[in-house]
Amino acid sequence: MVRVLLSDVAAERHGARIRAAVPQARLVPVAPEGPLPDTAGIEVAFLSRDLFVGGTRQRLNARFLRFVELLKAAPDLRWVQLFSAGTDMPLYQEMLARGLTLTNAAGASAPAVALTAVTGLLALARQLPRLAEAQRRRAWEPLYAPPEPRDIAGQAALVVGTGPIGQEIGRLCRALGLRATGVRRDPGAGIPPGFDAVAGFAALPDLLPRSEWLILACPLTEATRGLVDAQALALLPRGAHLVNVSRGGVVVEEALLEALRTGQLAGAFLDVFATEPLPPDSPFWGLPNVIVSPHSAAASDGLPERVAAIFADNLARWCRGEMLRNLVPRRG
């Protein structure tokens, strides 16, 4: 028998799937309030997205914190399955430092995040912010007046991050006629699916001047923090666009604002920010060439099931003593 600590919502939604994969699993649900279960002997926990809803990385909600405190007190806990692909939250790093095994949900959000990124690209390419602003004024202003939308076929998309999300973005970009180049830590590992070419981070100064679209789909690490700064933005062709579905910390926001205000960047689709929720007085809200998305790129009614499928498969592997999928490496 293996006991699994999880939210009451996850137990109700995914209990049948988990037990189908591991019949000997015994679920230990945690309600949002009331008595907490005894965690003695529990080695496995499933941290599902329903616990996180209503909070942000900087402003965790009460239910999430209640569950996390229970994890911290669990004396025999060994493995935690996370709902997200990103693992840069300090809390997760604390778990790793404690010696826990963490697995993420890489791949589960790729279809939705990639679709969001390319939707943002298309909205900027077809000048939808310009149409929305005219609609607010009830003004009939066809896009045939300069500057007319450029054909995207033949343009270059530089996708930073070549994991499941980046690969799906690359595939969709190529389907639209863009030339997709991926940027990854180890370019010698070969060209991942979805890309025409691949390069390392050291090649960015050569690639940026030839890229009309800079799409960020990378994790936030010491190597990517502040990667897109004033120098990087200045290297892009004037009138290029930025799409960010990674983390706000990958971009130096003051430099981004300046590039948008001066026209160095024609526009940006931003799903993530350094501070979330984005403060009401942030200049990003008022820029006509910016589409603000409230960190919702992964939103999809199919996401919880895809995450639960990863957990159920991993739980079966755990019980068989096999290597788990999506292991989170310890930093340093």
Active-site annotation, residues: 247, 276, 295
Residue 198's identity, in one-letter code, is: V
Q: 303-320 vs 8-21: helix axis angle to the nearest 10? A: 50
Please give the Cα distance from 159 to 193 (Å, whole number).
13
Q: In what order do the strands lie in the sheet with 79-81?
A: 25-30, 2-7, 44-46, 79-81, 101-103
Q: Which residues contact 102 (CB under 8 A, 6 or more apart)?
A: 79, 80, 81, 82, 87, 92, 95, 96, 327, 328
Answer yes or no: are the C-beta atoms of 158 and 213 closer than 8 Å: yes
Please give the Cα distance from 156 to 168 (Å, whole number).
16
User: What's the gap between Cα 262 and its chain centre?
Assistant: 28
Cα distances from 291 to residues 203, 267, 285, 286, in angstroms, run 28, 8, 8, 10
Answer yes or no: are the C-beta atoms of 43 and 83 closer than 8 Å: no
Q: Which residues contact 66 (CB under 8 A, 6 or more apart)?
A: 30, 32
Please give the Cα distance from 176 to 7 (Å, whole number).
41
Name the residue among 176, 196, 174 with its Cα closest to residue 125.
Answer: 176
DSSP H or E run through 249: none
Dihedral sign computed on CA atoms, order 204, 207, 209, 215: negative
